[in-house]
Amino acid sequence: MRGYKLGIAVAVIAVALLGNFSKAEAAGATLVDFEDGNRLMSDGTVWTQDMNVEETLLTDYNIVDLDGEYGLTKDGQLVRFSLFDAKVVKGTSGIVQISGTYYLKQDGTVWDMDGKQLKEYSDIAMINANRHTNILVTLSRSGELRCAYGFQGPIDQLGSASEVSAVLSGDLNEAAVVLKSGKVLVYSKYQADKANPAKYVPTMLTEQAAGALYNDSGNLFVLLQDGTIVVKRSQAPGTYELEQTESQPGHVTALVTEWRGSLIIKLQDGTLRSYSPQSGELQEISVPVIEDLNLRIESKELKVGSKVSVQIDEIWSNDTTKRIPLSEAELEIEKPYLLQKMPDGTVKALAVGQTKLTARSGSFSKTISVSISDTSLMDQGAYIGGTMYLPVQPVFHKLGASIQTDMAAKTFSIRLGELPIQLQLGSDTAIINGEKVKMSDKVQTVNGTAIFPASLLKTALGAGLAWDGTYQKMTVSFGSAKLTVQTKQTAQIVKTKSQGYLTKLIGKSYWVNFFDENYRFQKVTIVDIIPNNNGYFAAAFKFPSGKVLNTRKMSGDELISTLADRQEFFTADPYKTYKWPDAIWAKIKDGRVTTGMTKQQVELSWGSPIDASAMEGSGVRVETWSYGNFNYVTFTNGVVTMIYTN
């Protein structure tokens, strides 16, 4: 159940529901039934009200009839109303009529609201329970009329149920039948056939009836076919007359129910009114109405592919709001090829452009404009002879168009919404909506891509075009919606500007030290500095074999300091700098240290120590290098004499 709580600033329920209002509609639905303050609308929703005059709109039930605190759904289930809630009564189905504390099922059985079947009734076509006494009157399909109290045996045997419009339960002693012929028959338990006391003799009140109902006081009101209301008055036992009520309310088409001493009636224009038979006072029945509509979107500036939430709120006449789920809302998207309503309550941006969203509820509507841009840079543009060209298929796809290509005819049939555009390779004429339009140059092919003069978008679609000569790119705009197309020069220009002072490194050669032990002492040449969008760079190293490897990304300053660090790279060929035997180089490459090695050789093998100490005396100098984890090398006069490893 979905309940929308709507408060009314009045003190008395009768005043809240019955007043001189200009409208009796809710969200375009009309009032069709009324029962004990509950109001059934033509769309199956129900307004309920509690003693504090708080109103709730119940929307999850397709209600077709009201009676007391119960409603009947279109699919034959029983719904019970409470303060701000409603619940389907478990186990109920196949119900065709509710009255008082009883309901009639399609199979002709009668049940009470506790789910207990009344076994004495079968093959029933119609029921009615008195609002005050709850006495049940039934009519079988064969036409047998019965009353649960006061009468002995069947009241009457009518021709068939098809002849009857309604059966009515009066007070403890009375029942009535309205026939489709217009007759109203009244039965009293005191009016039996003298010759046959088990047979009750009806009194015919009129042959011109369109309907009838008993009020809580036991008075029978009859609606005549001319639209007037009369009430039954007793003259003597078994004799009655009909008397017009005060100040006839106009042409009445139905008697709906009785509420707080007044009749709820339906007028010829379809509206329901409260009518007092005593005073003749006629009042409209109040139903909160929509007075305004709010439409909000999470953002009006979207990116292609993004999804944003949309909120639609109805502002009601009682200063409250009702949130309408997007799945249930009447939301129109001006250009559905740009924006799509999603099942999860969001809208998704599909393509670049501007569009409008319009929400409607009844006679109210609200519109907002949305712009959709593409933040990525589109490639394949070309700047030729002072003219900027755009790629045909990528651009029009990004604008939300469909494209059909005829390779034989070399044509592109484009449809953007309802606008057809046709382009042909080698032609400087576009056909837009059936009319020929001259372009600044021909549609042509560059590097296998069909391109067209960008000025066509301005001519055909009213787009704004902004050329950026610095970066050799063009921005296409529709209001604040933007799409940028770059040329093949753009990326290199951007890259060069990003590289800045690092470009001086390109072409320089280094020899790898501990930067990557897999390539120690190999020569590498920087062939490129690769920037990313976050201010970091990778150096592309080319080996003599032709293989190219990239370093990890680092800042520009870190890259320069790394290349200058002798522990990471050499700026000269170490084999030529240190002319050592191959056996020594083999130990260094393997990361081994042996006695007899020099300090330079140890440093190349293990790297610089983390700590060093020295002692000198009598012409002998002893140094110890610490490498952590209890690894030590001791030199005597610059030559390894002792090695300690953990």
Tally of domains in the chain: 4
- Where a domain ends, among 338, 356, 373? 373
- β-strand pairing of 411-416 with 402-406: antiparallel
For residue 521, being part of any structural domain is answered with: yes
Pairing of strands 481-487, 377-384: parallel
Average pLDDT score, the chain = 90
| Domain co-membership, 586 together with 556 | no
Q: Are residues 303 and 349 in the same domain?
A: yes
Q: Give residue 646's pLDDT band: very low, low, confident or very high (50, 70, 90).
A: confident
In a 13 Å sphere around the CA of 355, the CA atoms on its Cβ side amount to 25
- pLDDT grade for 50, boundaries at 50, 70 and 90: low
Q: What is the C-alpha separation between 141 and 585, in angstroms, rounded?
A: 113
Q: How confident is the model over 18-27, as a mean pLDDT?
A: 42
Residue 307 lies in a domain: yes
For 345, phi then psi, to 5°, come to 90, 10
Measured CA to CA, the distance from residue 276 to residue 279 in angstroms comes to 6
| CA pair distance 594, 596, nearest whole angstrom | 6
Phi, psi angle pair for 35, to nearest 5°:
-155, 115
Task: Give the tokens for residue 202.
Answer: 């009806």
Mean pLDDT of 44-59: 72
Report the b/e string of 487-496 with b at 16+ CB within 10 A: beebeebbee
The per-residue pLDDT for range 365-399, each reduced to its tens digit, is: 999 999 999 999 899 999 999 999 999 999 999 99
Q: Which ranges in 477-579 belong to alpha helices (H)?
A: 488-499, 556-564, 574-577
- Residue 519, pLDDT > 70, answer yes
Instruction: Return all residues near 562 (Cβ < 8 A) that are at least 6 apart.
Output: 515, 554, 568, 569
CA 613 – CA 185 distance, rounded (Å):
126
Instruction: Give pLDDT tens digits for 156-170.
Output: 999 999 999 999 999
| Predicted local confidence at residue 216, as pLDDT | 86
Q: Can you give the pLDDT at residue 579?
A: 92
Measured from the Cβ of residue 624, the count of other Cβ atoms closer than 10 Å reads 16
Position 235 pLDDT exceeds 90 = no
CA atoms of 22 and 58, how far apart (whole Å): 23
Shortest CA distance to 510 belongs to which of 447, 446, 565, 563? 563
- Token representation of residue 505: 């490194």
536 and 564 share one domain: yes
Count other C-beta atoms under 10 Å from residue 237's C-beta. Answer: 8
Contact, 433 vs 351, CB < 8 A?
A: no
pLDDT tens by residue, 260-280: 889 999 999 999 999 999 899
Q: Is 588 exposed, middle or buried (0-12, 13-18, 19+ CB in 10 A)?
A: buried
Q: Is residue 381 part of a domain?
A: yes
Is pLDDT at 5 greater than 70 in this prediction?
no
Residue 361 placed within a domain: yes
From 24-33, 219-228, 554-563, the region with the lowest mean pLDDT? 24-33
Q: Produce one character per residue of 523-562: b if its CB has 16 or more CB atoms within 10 Å, e if not.
A: bbebebbebeeeeebbbbbbeeeeeeeebebeebeebeeb
Q: Are residues 307 and 365 in the same domain?
A: yes
The DSSP code sequence of 348-416 is: EE-SSEEEEEEEEETTEEEEEEEEEE--SEEEEEEEETTEEEEEHHHHHHHTT-EEEEETTTTEEEEEE
| Average pLDDT over every residue of 127-146 | 94
Instruction: Please say if the pLDDT value at position 454 is more than 60.
Output: yes
Least confidently predicted of 16-20, 225-229, 437-441, 634-638: 16-20
Count CA atoms within 13 Å of residue 336 on its CB side: 5
74 domain residue, yes or no: no
Q: What's the pLDDT at 84?
A: 66
* Amino acid 217: pLDDT: 85
Q: Which residue has the higher pLDDT, 97 or 57?
A: 97
CATH code assigned at 352: 2.60.40.1080
Element (H, E) at 477: strand 473-478
pLDDT at 52: 53
Query: What integer is the mean pLDDT of 231-252?
Result: 81
How far is it, in rounded angstroms, from Cα 359 to Cα 353? Answer: 20
Same domain, yes or no: 431 and 392: yes
Please tell me whether residues 460 and 386 are part of one structural domain.
yes
Whether residue 383 sits in one domain with residue 368: no
Answer with the one of 522, 546, 575 that is the final residue of a domain.
575
According to the model, what pLDDT value does residue 196 have? 83
Q: pLDDT tier at 482 (50, 70, 90 boundaries)?
A: very high
CA quadruple 440, 441, 446, 449: dihedral positive or negative? positive
Based on the domain organization, do 630 and 551 belong to the same domain? Answer: no
Kindly tell me the sign of the dihedral angle through the C-alpha atoms of 302, 307, 308, 310: positive
**Does residue 427 lie in a domain region?**
yes
Q: Specify whether the CB–CB gap between 590 and 536 falls below 8 A.
A: no
Residues 382 and 468 in one domain: yes
**Domain of residue 414, residue span:** 377-472
Mean pLDDT of 561-584: 94
Q: Are residues 354 and 414 in the same domain?
A: no
Q: Is residue 89 part of a domain?
A: no
Q: Which of 251, 317, 240 is nearest to 47 (CA)?
A: 317
Sorted by sequence, the CB contacts under 8 Å of residue 594 that are 6+ apart come out as 587, 640, 643
Residue 461 domain flag: yes
Give yes or no: residues 543 and 596 share one domain. no
Distance CA 240, CA 222 (A): 13
| Predicted pLDDT of residue 301 | 97
Query: 591 and 565 in one domain?
Result: no
Minimum mean pLDDT range among 236-240, 591-595, 640-644: 236-240
pLDDT band at 8 (very low <50, low <70, confident <90, very high): very low
The predicted model scores a pTM of 0.62
Structure token pair of residue 611: 């700590």
Average pLDDT of the residues in 566-589:
94
**What CATH number is associated with residue 600?**
3.30.1450
CATH number of 409's domain: 3.30.457.10
Length of the chain: 646
Per-residue pLDDT tens over the stretch 290-344:
889 999 999 999 999 999 999 999 998 877 788 889 988 999 999 999 999 999 9
Domain termination residue (choose one: 452, 472, 492): 472
Q: Which two tokens stand for residue 394?
A: 């990528």
